[in-house]
Chain A
């Protein structure tokens, strides 16, 4: 028993180890550009159709990006820069809703839905729990064999 499950267990440990290794730090703090790009990817380009400031080449988008980069370089935190965007252009420019306030519904509701449906399934499985003997008797097996033979056994 133990020997049979040794291979899957070892493989699982190796996979988890490799995943852990891949999650290691890049060994340096992110550069100003990387931080600015990451903030800009969550800001909607005001004059485009469905693009972020990071993706857009529109003039206004480039201006906003330049401002984000400037603020990051001058030592402001990500939260401060984001707040600046909200104050200047409005909350609707942020494409990732906050985890607080009314926007939190879109984060919580799907989790609630999944938990509820799993709970519903668990309840259903409890109700379905087989009652009585489910193992076929010899008579059942003979019946099946006979029928299978009649059908050509395919």
Chain B
């Protein structure tokens, strides 16, 4: 019964998308606003359809209705409530359902917000594009990724979700937040296509989607950091990022999205880089689809798995269509996209943004290349080769260092042209901070030029961002507003994000260079020294947990008082045992314990992994600060209308003194 409800919801959603999009297209092309407005009435049914489908799936999960193949595969009677609810996004079909829900939410919010402008062809086209994308996902649910397939002979109990996915509560939050980011990039993409379709290629579509893009970017950032955290807390290898294809797939659109939210400022300010910005938006959206293809079609394990899965060709075709439409439209509008402006000097804010784009573009290229190259080679001549962590790390290091340097210098650059003198005064304190940090680190005996360079540039960039924030606060005070106003708005919020990035970079560099690990083979009562800590193995004990789980815990005493209990958990009698690490978080370093191997005989030796992970907590703090900064950037700052600047984008006041005559157009 629930299955029929679910299919019914998917059908409503699909029909509403198709009818709405085609009706609006007819109305817009024939210039009949009444038809457009009528067709737009279908939009809320897209949301209703996906809510019905999601409600059906959740009901089936909560009732443990194993007549649904999806429930039987991803739920069991013993699955705890939180993981039962989260079961919807722990496998392919359910996550497509979640994708559909989030996309229809975005569509409905856009539809509501542009209520007054629904006959505007720009808005209509944007809604058409979004509905077309949603139609594709509903079609997936009706075709190859049907979440409501039923079983003729329902089992008495399901197999339950993958044990790794029910081992930490972050699993309940990480996918929905990540998807909010992924799916959110549909909005700027839709408006970009709408701008191309209507030929209104000015800065209008940019301003409409500015906040949507930031929301998507912030959610994607938070989703990626939460994913890294989950990986650290659950997987038990002590790391947080393995350059795994799934991780790369989320990182790729983040990189192009970051490039876009920077280069868009050049277009808003100077009307330049139109083709480039459109390309970045289209690239970001198509990379979310390509990422889904790479990770969900099974293609990444081996090319030969391709034929087994039938969602792959759909996603690949959709990706090809998006790329073809984007390239075709940009080529078609090429003549209108030429911008009249010119950038005066490489040493300017514009120049900084261009350099940013080169770096982010190169980084995205490296990751895409490293992810798909083995596939291409294997498809081409059957050779197998692997590209993994060592490759990505050695490429990421120089790029990351260059990014940090740019992050310090670029905010100090004025628009149009900088003088050496200006840079000297603005960068003086950040440079002092960088020197102080590097000297202190070297004096403390730290080794590794790359790592210390990262720390120095981190201090440089962090101080540069702080300087901007201090100026912002001072400026707000002078204008009689509260100091809080100095943190709000895109420029100031951006500086908060930069500080978060610095923390992340420092944490990554420190944990990559100064971590240490040990494998201790200890009998109960024995102890060993690891990095100045006395690690004592007290013994093993068995626990029975709720939901039929059993757990074997190693009790470990550190430095005579604190007890840690890394464990090996079994989710069912026959299931694969899953290691559960125990993490002792500290401001300077984490101690990370794993129970690597149980004793073979009672009272025998267990293998205990101990890792010292320096400064890792600052990675999570940095990610949180990035999300907060994005939220601050989304809050509308006080717009200053300036006749000298047609787009009147908020910016710090020292720019204003340097703005020359009319902005070149």
Which residues from chain A sit less than 8 Å from chain B, CB to CB? 4-5, 7-8, 11-12, 14-15, 18-24, 26, 41-42, 44, 49-52, 55-57, 90-97, 102-103, 105-106, 109-110, 113-114, 117-118, 121, 124-125, 127-128, 130, 134-136, 140-141, 144, 147-148, 150-151, 154
Distance, CA A19 to CA B455, complexed state (A): 11
Pair B346/A44 contact, Cβ less than 8 Å:
no
State which size class the interface on B falls in.
35 or more
Pair A57/B385 contact, Cβ less than 8 Å:
no
Pair A95/B389 contact, Cβ less than 8 Å:
yes
Pair B244/A128 contact, Cβ less than 8 Å:
no
Provide the residues of chain A in CB contact with B451, threshold 8 Å.
22
Question: Quick check: is B358 within 8 A (CB to CB) of the other chain?
Answer: yes
Pair A44/B388 contact, Cβ less than 8 Å:
yes
Which residues from chain B sit less than 8 Å from chain A, CB to CB? 236-239, 242-244, 342-346, 354, 358, 361-362, 365-366, 369-370, 373-374, 377, 383-391, 394-395, 421, 424, 427-428, 431-432, 434-435, 438-439, 441-442, 446-449, 451-453, 456, 579, 594, 596-597, 607, 609, 640-644, 660-662
CB closest chain-B residue, reference A137: B661
CB closest chain-B residue, reference A144: B644
Pair A106/B391 contact, Cβ less than 8 Å:
yes
11 contacts between A and B (CB under 8 A): A14-B438, A21-B442, A22-B446, A23-B447, A24-B447, A57-B596, A90-B384, A91-B383, A97-B391, A121-B358, A140-B661
Contacts A110-B365, A134-B344, A134-B660 given; indicate if A97 touches B237 (C-beta within 8 A). Answer: no
Contacts A50-B244, A57-B596, A106-B373 given; indicate if A113 touches B439 (C-beta within 8 A). Answer: no
Distance, CA A76 to CA B42, complexed state (A): 71
CB closest chain-A residue, reference B394: A96
Provide the residues of chain B in CB contact with A41, threshold 8 Å.
389-390
Distance, CA A12 to CA B661, complexed state (A): 36
Pair B438/A19 contact, Cβ less than 8 Å:
yes
Distance, CA A42 to CA B399, complexed state (A): 21
Provide the residues of chain A in CB contact with B344, threshold 8 Å.
128, 130, 134
Contacts A18-B442, A102-B377 given; indicate if A8 touches B424 (C-beta within 8 A). Answer: yes
Name A97's contact: one of B387, B579, B594, B607 (CB within 8 Å): B387
Q: Which of A4, A127, A154 has the most CB of B within 10 A?
A: A154
Provide the residues of chain A in CB contact with B385, threshold 8 Å.
91-92, 94, 97, 102-103
Pair B239/A151 contact, Cβ less than 8 Å:
no
Name B395's contact: one of A50, A110, A121 (CB within 8 Å): A110
Q: Shortest distance in angstroms between A101's beta carbon and chain B's nearest beta carbon? A: 9
Pair A136/B643 contact, Cβ less than 8 Å:
no
Pair B388/A95 contact, Cβ less than 8 Å:
yes
Provide the residues of chain A in CB contact with B387, threshold 8 Å.
95-97, 103, 106
Contacts A19-B452, A23-B447 given; indicate if A96 touches B384 (C-beta within 8 A). Answer: no
Q: Shortest distance in angstroms between A140's beta carbon and chain B's nearest beta carbon? A: 5
Contacts A19-B456, A57-B594, A95-B388 given; indicate if A144 touches B342 (C-beta within 8 A). Answer: no
Distance, CA A23 to CA B346, complexed state (A): 33
Provide the residues of chain A in CB contact with B383, threshold 8 Å.
91, 102
Provide the residues of chain A in CB contact with B438, threshold 8 Å.
14-15, 18-19, 22
Tell me the dominant secondary structure on chain A's binding face: helix
Pair A50/B358 contact, Cβ less than 8 Å:
no
Contacts A8-B428, A110-B362 given; indicate if A22 touches B448 (C-beta within 8 A). Answer: yes
Pair B386/A44 contact, Cβ less than 8 Å:
yes
Distance, CA A102 to CA B376, complexed state (A): 11
Distance, CA A148 to CA B579, complexed state (A): 66
CB closest chain-B residue, reference A38: B390
Distance, CA A81 to CA B37, complexed state (A): 71
Q: Shortest distance in angstroms between B391's beta carbon and chain A's nearest beta carbon? A: 5
Distance, CA A92 to CA B378, complexed state (A): 11
Q: Shortest distance in angstroms between A121's beta carbon and chain B's nearest beta carbon? A: 6
Q: Shortest distance in angstroms between A19's beta carbon and chain B's nearest beta carbon? A: 5
Distance, CA A7 to CA B431, complexed state (A): 10
Contacts A44-B388, A151-B642 given; indicate if A7 touches B428 (C-beta within 8 A). Answer: yes
Provide the residues of chain A in CB contact with B345, threshold 8 Å.
125
Pair A110/B369 contact, Cβ less than 8 Å:
yes
CB closest chain-A residue, reference B361: A117
Pair B369/A117 contact, Cβ less than 8 Å:
no
Distance, CA A40 to CA B387, complexed state (A): 15
Pair A118/B358 contact, Cβ less than 8 Å:
yes
CB closest chain-B residue, reference A152: B641
Pair A52/B388 contact, Cβ less than 8 Å:
yes
Provide the residues of chain B in CB contact with A135, threshold 8 Å.
660
Provide the residues of chain B in CB contact with A5, threshold 8 Å.
424
Provide the residues of chain B in CB contact with A94, threshold 8 Å.
385-386
CB closest chain-B residue, reference A110: B366
Q: Which of A50, A51, A113, A124 has the most CB of B within 10 A?
A: A50
